[in-house]
Amino acid sequence: MTDFIESGQRTIEMETDAVKKLSSRIGLPFVTACETILSCHGRVVVIGMGKSGHIGNKIAATLASTGTPAFFVHPGEASHGDLGMITKGDVVIAISNSGNTREILTLIPLIIRLGIPLISMTGDDQSQLAKAACANLDVSVSVEACPLNLAPTTSTTVTLVMGDALAIALLEARGFSAEDFAFSHPGGALGRKLLLRVRDIMHKDDEIPSVTADQPLQDALIEMTQKGFGMTTIMSADGKLIGIFTDGDLRRIFNLSIDIATTPISEVMSITPKTIHQNMLAVEALTIMENSTITALIVEDDNHNPAGVIHLHDILRAGVV
pLDDT in tens, 107-155: 999 899 889 999 999 999 999 999 999 999 999 999 998 888 878 899 9
Give the whole-angstrom CA distance, residue 64 versus residue 109. Answer: 26
In a domain, 25, yes or no: yes
Residues 91 and 167 in one domain: yes
- Helix H or strand E segment including 36: helix 28-38
Its pTM surpasses 0.75: no
8 Å CB contact between 185 and 315:
no
Q: State the residue range of the domain holding 104.
A: 4-176
154 vs 128: CA distance, rounded Å: 22
Strand 296-300 and strand 306-311: the pairing is: antiparallel
Same domain, 156 and 40: yes
Average pLDDT of span 249-272: 85
Three-state SS for 29? Answer: helix
**pLDDT on residue 82:** 66
Q: Which of 161-165, 250-254, 295-299 has the lowest mean pLDDT?
A: 250-254
Question: What pLDDT is stored for residue 186 in this prediction?
Answer: 52
210 and 265 together in one domain: yes
Three-state DSSP at 156 gives: helix
* Partners of residue 135 on adjacent β-strands: 119
287 within some domain: yes
Distances from the Cα of 257 to the Cα of 190, 247, 263, 268, angstroms: 50, 17, 10, 12
Contact present, 212 and 235 (Cβ < 8 Å): yes
Kindly state whether residues 259 and 172 are assigned to the same domain: no
Beta strands in 74-117 (DSSP E): 91-96
Q: What is the mean pLDDT of residues 273-284?
A: 88
Both 126 and 95 in one domain: the answer is yes
Residues 36 and 81 in one domain: yes
DSSP for residue 216: B
Has residue 185 been placed in a domain?
no
134 located within any domain? yes
Give how far Cα 179 sits from Cα of 176, 184, 195, 281, Å.
8, 9, 7, 11
Residue with the larger pLDDT of the pair 257 and 15: 15
CA 288/CA 290 separation, integer angstroms: 5
45 and 149 belong to one structural domain: yes
273-294 average pLDDT score: 88
Instruction: Give the Cα separation of 67 and 94 in Å (integer).
Output: 20
Is 8 part of a structural domain of the chain?
A: yes
Task: Establish if 182 belongs to a structural domain.
Answer: no
Least confident span in 176-185, 190-199, 223-232, 254-263: 176-185
Can you tell me the mean pLDDT for 5-27?
A: 94
Q: What is the pLDDT of residue 284?
A: 87
Instruction: Evaluate if residue 86 carries a pLDDT over 90.
Output: no
- Say which CATH number the domain at 35 has: 3.40.50.10490
Average pLDDT, stretch 266-292? Answer: 88
What average pLDDT is seen over the chain?
88
Residue type, 221: L
pLDDT tens-digit map of 146-188: 888 878 899 999 999 999 999 999 999 988 666 666 555 555 5
Percent of the chain with pLDDT over 90: 53
From 143, 176, 209, the end of a domain falls on 176
Q: Are residues 63 and 144 in the same domain?
A: yes
Task: Indicate if 50 and 151 belong to the same structural domain.
Answer: yes
How many domains does the chain fold into? Answer: 2
User: Cβ neighbours of residue 289 under 8 Å, at least 6 residues apart?
Assistant: 295, 296, 297, 312, 315
- CA–CA dist 321, 318 (Å, integer): 8
